[in-house]
Each structure stands twice: as structure tokens, then as C-alpha cells.
């Protein structure tokens, strides 16, 4: 496997510097990834992208994932909203291609106005999945034109809230250029699954592994309280059998990237060190 981080680098490739990238390089990772806000994408020039590419190349780094930021929902009932977000994603694919990204990351969004990963019953009304598939088909057409791979960040609180729905949507679109992120933490649904994480991880990898091209690696910790509270945590600091996760990822995608993400900068070194320890226990080499 290969190891990278989502962090350190700002969202604007024009602001990426050698000093920033060396923070990742000093940890021994081979990719430093970031998310580009949708409202800056039209400003980016070929020269801007080439400058960033030169920095990565000179340091021996790759851009395993370039995320596109936007607030719109891909299955919004308003066609004008869907058209607007498709234009943003299309431009993001062009930028991702210019930045030599391995994958361009998108999200489905939510009909809850408070956030893209905030739940609402409206996300699960009849017909919503069909609208989502139509929008993703438009995204996939552009991805095929650009020769780029789009990965969807899915989550238990979103419309693509289970491994089964992930597979359903990807199969319905039918494009090899549309995949999902193997973000296994996002698909734990109960306390029993967390405490029997080996079984749940194997199931997630069985269903989602063949339709993923990049993985995020993190952990789950449980917080006391009335009803269930599951929090993301530093890899190795929670409840999950990450040895199994690393082994399954390497078996499915030898040399594929696992990315440390969603951490403040001061926690990234410990997270990377923990992943190295876990990979050694799994007898998986980090390239």
C-alpha cells in the first residue's frame, strides 16, 4: 500500500509551497492531498497547475486525491441547482486532470440546509436515488472525457448510506470512471458492528472494495451518552480492527493509497506512525 495525508496543504493550489509539502515528506508519506473550493476553480490557470505539479514532482510526491468543495445537493429537486453543481464538478475534473490527480472526490450532499452530511428524511423520499443517478451519470460522462476517476465520499447519514446502496448506485451509472471512497468508518451503523468490527469490515470490503480506488484510514471511538455516539478517531486509538482493514485493502488494491484525514495538524504525525505500526502488524509493506 501507499500512504498519504489529507492536510497541511491549503485548498488553493496557488498557495501550495515547498515548505508545506515538506511537512508531509518528513513523515515519509508519498501524497499530500487537499480540497479545492468550487468558487476558485474558474480562476485556476494551466500555469497555476503546472507550478504545483513541479513542486510535487521535485519532491517525489503524488496527488492521490483532489476534492471539490460545494454546498449544493446532487439530487436537489431544483434542476437549476443540479445544473450549477454539475458545472462546478465538471470544472473540478478539468482542474484535477491538470493537477495530475489520481482521483477527484465529490459528495452527494443533503437536502438538509445545515450541511452536506446532515440527515433529513427528505433524502430518502421516493425518486431521490433516481435523480442522484441521473446527476452522477452526467458527472461520469465528463470524467470519461477527461480520463479522470471520480470517487464519491459516502456516509451512513447520507443518501448513499450503506455499502449496498453504494453498489446499487455505481452499478446503475455503469461507468468505470465513477467509484466510491473506501471510507469504512463511515459505514458502521450500530454498537454491535463496532464491537464486532472484523466482521463488519470484511462485509464492507466485500461489497465496496471492487468499486473503490482510494481508501481513508481512521478509527472509531465511542462516547458515553444517551443514544449512540460514534466519533472518528486517530487510527489505532479506537475500537476497530485496522489490521484487517489494511490487509483487505492491500489484497484488493495492491499499492493503492490509504489516506489519513480529518485531523488537526498536530495529530497527523501520530496518526501516520500508528498506520505504519498497524501495517507492520498486518505484514503489509508501505511503499
What percent of the chain is modeled with pLDDT above 90? Answer: 98
pLDDT tens figures, 270-283: 999 999 999 999 99
- pLDDT at site 104: 98
Q: Write down the pLDDT at residue 78.
A: 98
> 142-165 burial string, b = 16+ CB within 10 Å, else e?
bbbebebbbbbbbbbbbbbbbbeb
**Distance (Å, whole) CA 116 – CA 130:** 19
**In this predicted model, what pLDDT tens digit does every residue of 139-168 receive, in sequence order?**
999 999 999 999 999 999 999 999 999 999
Q: What pLDDT score was predicted for residue 47?
A: 97
User: Which three three-digit cell numbers place residue 98?
Assistant: 491538470
Helix, strand, or coil (residue 154): coil
Question: What pLDDT shows up at residue 3?
Answer: 98
What does the pLDDT look like over 121-145, one tens digit per residue?
A: 999 999 999 999 999 999 999 999 9
Residue range 2-281 forms a domain whose CATH class is: alpha beta
Task: Give the count of beta carbons closer than 10 Å to the beta carbon of residue 206.
Answer: 12
Q: What pLDDT is attached to residue 225?
A: 87
In this structure, the chain runs to a length of 287
Which pLDDT value is given to residue 234? 97
Spell out a b/e string for 246-265, using b for 16 or more CB atoms within 10 Å of the CB, else e.
Answer: bbbbbebbeebbbbbbbbee
Mean pLDDT of 55-74: 97
Quote the pLDDT of residue 155.
Answer: 97
> What's the rounded mean pLDDT across residues 178-191?
98
Distance CA 60, CA 30 (A): 7
pLDDT score for 226: 87
pTM of structure: 0.95
Listed residue (24, 22, 19) closest to 7, CA to CA: 24
Coil, strand or helix at 182: strand
Q: What does pLDDT average to over the chain?
A: 97
Query: CA-based angle 114:115:116, to the nearest 5?
Result: 150
Q: What is the pLDDT of residue 54?
A: 98
Angle of helix 268-281 relative to helix 242-252, nearest 10 degrees, comes to 70
Dig out the grid coordinates for 83 from the structure: 445544473
The DSSP symbol for 46 reads H
Q: How far is CA 63 from CA 33, 40, 133, in A?
A: 6, 18, 27
Tell me what the mean pLDDT of segment 185-193 comes to: 97
| Residue the block writes with cell 517525489 | 60
Per-residue pLDDT at 8: 94
Give the pLDDT score at 156.
97
d(CA 228, CA 225): 7
Rg of the chain's alpha carbons, rounded to an integer?
18
Residue 150 is predicted with a pLDDT of 98
pLDDT band at 238 (very low <50, low <70, confident <90, very high): very high
pLDDT of residue 244: 98
- Ordered by start, the domain boundaries in the chain are 2-281
- What are 195-210's pLDDT values in tens digits? 999 999 999 999 999 9
Q: Which cell numbers hold the place of 286?
A: 508501505
Q: What is the pLDDT of residue 227?
A: 87
Amino acid at each position: 500500500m501507499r500512504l498519504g495525508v489529507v492536510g497541511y496543504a491549503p485548498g488553493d493550489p496557488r498557495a501550495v509551497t515547498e515548505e508545506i509539502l515538506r511537512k508531509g515528506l518528513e513523515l515519509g508519506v508519498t501524497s499530500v492531498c487537499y480540497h479545492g473550493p468550487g468558487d476558485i476553480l474558474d480562476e485556476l490557470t494551466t500555469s497555476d497547475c503546472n507550478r504545483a505539479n513541479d513542486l510535487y514532482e521535485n519532491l517525489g510526491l503524488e496527488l492521490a486525491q483532489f476534492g471539490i468543495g460545494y454546498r449544493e445537493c446532487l439530487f436537489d429537486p431544483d434542476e437549476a441547482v443540479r445544473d450549477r453543481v454539475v458545472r462546478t464538478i465538471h470544472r473540478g475534473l478539468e482542474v484535477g486532470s491538470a493537477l495530475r490527480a489520481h482521483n477527484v472526490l465529490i459528495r452527494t450532499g443533503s437536502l438538509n440546509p445545515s450541511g452536506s452530511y446532515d440527515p433529513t428524511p427528505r433524502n430518502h423520499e421516493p425518486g431521490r436515488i433516481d435523480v442522484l443517478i441521473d446527476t452522477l451519470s452526467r458527472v461520469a460522462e465528463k470524467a470519461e472525457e477527461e480520463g479522470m476517476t471520480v470517487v464519491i465520499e459516502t456516509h451512513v447519514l447520507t443518501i448513499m448510506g450503506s455499502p449496498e446502496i453504494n453498489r446499487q448506485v455505481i452499478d446503475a451509472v455503469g461507468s468505470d470512471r465513477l467509484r466510491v471512497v473506501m471510507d469504512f468508518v463511515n459505514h458502521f451503523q450500530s454498537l454491535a458492528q463496532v464491537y464486532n468490527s472484523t466482521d463488519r469490515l470484511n462485509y464492507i470490503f466485500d461489497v465496496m472494495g471492487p468499486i473503490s480506488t482510494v481508501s481513508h484510514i481512521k478509527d472509531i471511538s465511542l462516547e458515553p451518552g444517551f443514544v449512540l455516539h460514534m466519533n472518528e478517531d486517530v487510527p489505532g486509538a479506537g475500537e476497530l480492527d485496522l489490521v484487517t482493514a489494511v490487509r483487505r485493502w492491500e489484497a484488493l488494491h495492491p499499492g493503492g493509497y490509504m489516506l489519513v484525514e480529518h485531523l488537526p495538524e498536530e495529530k497527523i504525525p501520530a496518526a501516520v506512525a500508528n498506520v505504519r505500526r498497524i501495517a507492520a502488524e498486518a505484514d503489509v509493506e508501505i511503499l
